[in-house]
Structure 1
């Protein structure tokens, strides 16, 4: 069994070195491709854009929609995790347990879908990017790799697709509608939403003002 222990130690060491190296590289280099993009059967459209060229309204919109505690947690929303665990115990549907940091870690380094193994890797990469990248870089990467439509990745490509304009010039309502579609970008309309999605987008547009008022995006612009 000694040989097995040595092999396991080498595998673990190799994974730690590889994961640290990747995180360090992507702190400075744009993420060229992700597993989600590679497995997308549709032609992929993306356009890496620096955070300085993305309207702050878009940052506020995704915080309002996805992670109101983005600037105050260390990668994990313990309250949301506790609620998800309680819902799981009762057989209920888990909603909104992942933070922007966790979603970024999953989108960049891992694959879609659940499972405890992937969740374990996700936790590790979330810890690393929080420590090495910081909030601004996490937000920048998230806004560039998040799926914003069929075969469309990043808010710049999404803004061009839906509004024929740059992500640097989005209105609060436009940003909110893009943020509202993020959980199900292949199924939720952005350009002409109706019913619940339209109301949800309008609600998020109002919450953008709350994020601005309360400085919930301050860590991104320190």
Structure 2
């Protein structure tokens, strides 16, 4: 049994080393190379193979500042300060989930990038472990602007609609560079469930959330907040 156990340990060690090297290499590569797609897009294509996917990559300077600050206001207001994990938000979510039937998440924008680009969509501790690994390396090797750029180009905004350019065209028939504060806040407001809600036919909850987001956009400082991401 000893030779077999030793062989198993050697194989396991090689697999772990191989994963570490490959994952770090992929993260480093995407610091400069734009992702062709995301694992979420792959999963959606498998489950909805007949839906045509829309996605057009736009670089940082081709995206409206309004949508940049809107998603930060809605999703991760501590984005410029944390290192991938917002522990205060996690603690608040844990306390909320103990007393509510609805589950509130506390994922940062960086964690969502790690999940969408590199991992399969699921709710498991194993997936969360891999997500934390990729989140750490993304924060260590990418500037904040790059993290937000990849997020905006990979997030899902409707069935088959991925990235802010496709969403802008799909809902408002404008480019991502032309989004107004109101349009941006409505897009950001539907992100918790983009395949259920619509920014062009918002219900009262989405309208209230969009108004709150616009207030937060101003409170954060708008463009001045974005300057901190350089």
Identify the TM-score tier after normalising by the shorter chain: over 0.9
Distance 1:90 1:196 in 2: 22
Where do 4+ consecutive residues of structure 1 move more than 6 Å?
none
Distance 2:104 2:181 in 1: 24
Aligned partner of 1:144 in structure 2 is 153
Whether contact under 8 Å (1:66, 1:96) holds in the other structure is no
Gaps of 5+ in 2: none
1:72 is aligned to 2:81: yes
1:81 is aligned to 2:90: yes
Moved more, 211-220 or 107-116: 211-220
1:102 is aligned to 2:86: no
1:173-188 mapped onto 2 (5 Å cutoff): 173-188=182-197
Aligned Cα RMSD in Å?
A: 1.6
**Match of residue 17, structure 2, among 4, 8, 13:** 13
TM-score, L = length of structure 2: 0.91
Q: Per-residue CA shift, 1:118-175, capped at 9, x if unaligned?
A: 0000000000000111211100000000001110000111001111111101110100
Distance 1:109 1:158 in 2: 22
Local SS of the residue matching 2:157: strand
Gaps of 5+ in 1: none
Displacement after TM superposition at 1:217 (Å): 3.0
How many residues were matched structurally?
221
Local SS of the residue matching 2:16: helix
Whether contact under 8 Å (2:164, 2:176) holds in the other structure is yes
Whether contact under 8 Å (2:110, 2:135) holds in the other structure is yes
**Match of residue 209, structure 1, among 198, 218, 226:** 218
TM-score, L = length of structure 1: 0.94
Moved more, 36-45 or 81-90: 81-90
Greater radius of gyration (CA):
2
